[in-house]
Amino acid sequence: MRHPASRNIPLVVGSLLMLALSSSGQAATLVEIVTGLTNWASCLDFRIEGTCVTALGESGVIVSYRLPHLLQDTVKIPGTSTIDELAGAIGGVAALVPGGGALGNLGEWNLPYSESHSVEYPIQLTMALRTIPLPPQFWCLDQMQYGFGLTINYLSELDAAAWRSNTLPEGFGGWIGVWAPLAPRNGFCIHYSPAVASGVFGYRGAHIAWIPGIHVVLKPLWFALDPGDDRMQMAIPVVKECLQIGSNPLLWDHGDVSLDGTYLWVYWHRVRCCVPGGGLPAREGP
């Protein structure tokens, strides 16, 4: 008589193969992300907030708008990525991390666990390709000094000790809106929606890169997260509109489930600067 567990082995192996094969289909290059997966129309939110005087004494206007600052990549298989360039850069990382992820939990295909990666959005490539839907005179250049090539902020595979079993208090309370608690900042999330769980993993990864605490971070963030005004935008498996972080899933999660459990998010953060002139009429008289 065969042991009951032995009958599950072909199913588990088959699932592993399907997961590995399907993961390769959910990927994009940085150029593809910049030109086709970034939802400027929904996320930019351009505003003129008042008048100002530049450092050179010129009259101008204060402009503000959101720019994509991060790419947040969540996957089930360590060392893989929805970003082609990142997958090539971290392909050998999986060999350094025993167990964990979907491969470390055979048979638990609904286990709400993922690896999380945060990299700087390639804003320099965006500027070179002129895909920003704003005239260059409105670019806040001093706040666009990031995204030179592939710049990695956080890889959960290199933070395995904390990402997979973090039970130490870090002093972070509260929730990510209505999605899930912020802490513990690890790769586990109990939620009925895989898309929402992915958003939780992406935000936790960005939060770790902002305030590392006990975690291992390759490059801390250069800006402070603002969950009230910042936005997250799903890019893979489908391009969605920007959503408020932690917002009710009933408003945006309409069955957009990745079959292989991989997701890519664009993280948007507002910049603000004084633009000379700004279309205002020239001042007359003294």
- pTM listed for this prediction: 0.85
- With beta carbons less than 8 A apart as the criterion, state whether 36 and 266 touch: no
**What distance in Å separates the CA atoms of residue 163 and residue 187, rounded to the nearest whole number?**
6
Note whether residue 52 is domain-resident: yes
Query: Mind listing the pLDDT tens digit for each residue in 125-167?
Result: 999 999 999 999 999 999 999 999 999 999 999 999 999 986 6
The whole domain housing 211 covers 42-118+150-271
Note whether residue 224 is domain-resident: yes
Nearest to 233 by CA among 224, 225, 243, 248: 243
Number of domains in the chain: 1
Note whether residue 5 is domain-resident: no
Note whether residue 18 is domain-resident: no
Note whether residue 86 is domain-resident: yes
Identify the band that residue 14 occupies on the pLDDT scale cut at 50, 70 and 90.
Answer: very low
Note whether residue 37 is domain-resident: no
Note whether residue 17 is domain-resident: no
**Residue 29 neighbours by CB under 8 Å, 6+ apart:** 83, 84, 85
Note whether residue 29 is domain-resident: no
Using the predicted structure, report yes or no on whether residue 265 has a pLDDT greater than 70: yes
**What distance in Å separates the CA atoms of residue 139 and residue 63, rounded to the nearest whole number?**
9
